[in-house]
Amino acid sequence: MLGGMETIDNHQLAWLGAFLPRRPARVLDAGCGRGELAAALMRLGHLVTAVDVSPEAVAAARAAGVPARVADMTAPADPPGAARFDVVVMSLSLHHMRPVEAALDRARDLLAPGGVLLLDEFAWDRADRAAAAWFYDAGSSPDGAEPAGTGAGAGPEPYARWREAHGDHATGEAMVNAVADRFEITDMRPEPYLTRYIGGKFQNPDMRLVERLWQAERAGIAAGTLPATGLRIAARRM
């Protein structure tokens, strides 16, 4: 594991580090957002190309020094197929892509023989009533302010609200099946995700509070009182 003790800040890199080839690996960050993960992989010495369908996200990534460009992973030749990558990373992006099968076809085409797909995802369909209640309750900040999309006091009951908010996202089951049809899955594991979701909704979260929530979520998963709504898959191009 990278960086010693696993925390909410380093656990994604700790997981990736177990599967990334020796640096400098040629990495495509597909759905890079504002480029935080791409920048971290660059600091580790990898050769990173980053793409996102959002021009605003790409502009933010470029401002952070990431060589990003606008591209749609569901388009047959976008990004262009000449490049062959050792790794394609999809971090919380595949569940937004339509159809997921087309995005994974493109990822497979862009990988060199034996290349690795690393998928760090949100399996929203694995949440139950307890998870929805925990999410909307834990999402209220200590001073009572609520980030958009959280707070138990508004709207329908938590589970109905959860399903309404996420029903347009690809499910964990759909993503697993689509990966299995195209790649050899070498590792698949459930993970905490709700705290990452909550933390991302605050502009300046109190990281001590976020860390306590993350530990509480992990404890709930271990005790069987909360489901794991994160999903991580490592797979090899067949």
Render pLDDT for 210-231 as a digit per residue (tens, 0 to 9): 888 989 999 999 999 999 999 9
Residue with the bigger pLDDT between 8 and 196: it is: 196
| 81: confidence class by pLDDT, cuts 50, 70, 90 | low
Average pLDDT over residues 170-184: 98
| 138: confidence class by pLDDT, cuts 50, 70, 90 | confident
Q: DSSP states of the chain as a string?
A: -TTSS--TTTHHHHHHHTTSPSSS-EEEEET-TTSHHHHHHHHTT-EEEEEES-HHHHHHHHHTT--EEE--TTSTTSS-TT--EEEEEEES-GGGSSSHHHHHHHHHHHEEEEEEEEEEEE-GGG--HHHHHHHHHHTS-TTS---TT--TTSSS-HHHHHHHHHTTSPPHHHHHHHHHHHEEEEEEEEE--HHHHHHHTSSS--HHHHHHHHHHHHHHHHHTSS---EEEEEEEE-
For residue 147, pLDDT over 70 is answered with no
Residue with the bigger pLDDT between 3 and 57: it is: 57
Average pLDDT over residues 115-132: 97
pTM value > 0.85: yes
Strand order in the sheet with 68-70: 68-70, 47-52, 26-30, 85-91, 111-122, 230-237, 183-191
Q: What does the pLDDT read at residue 145?
A: 42
Residue ranges and CATH numbers for the domains of the chain are 11-127+169-215+227-237 (3.40.50.150)
For residue 5, pLDDT over 60 is answered with no
| 234: confidence class by pLDDT, cuts 50, 70, 90 | very high
Q: Provide the percentage of residues in the chain whose pLDDT is more than 90.
A: 74
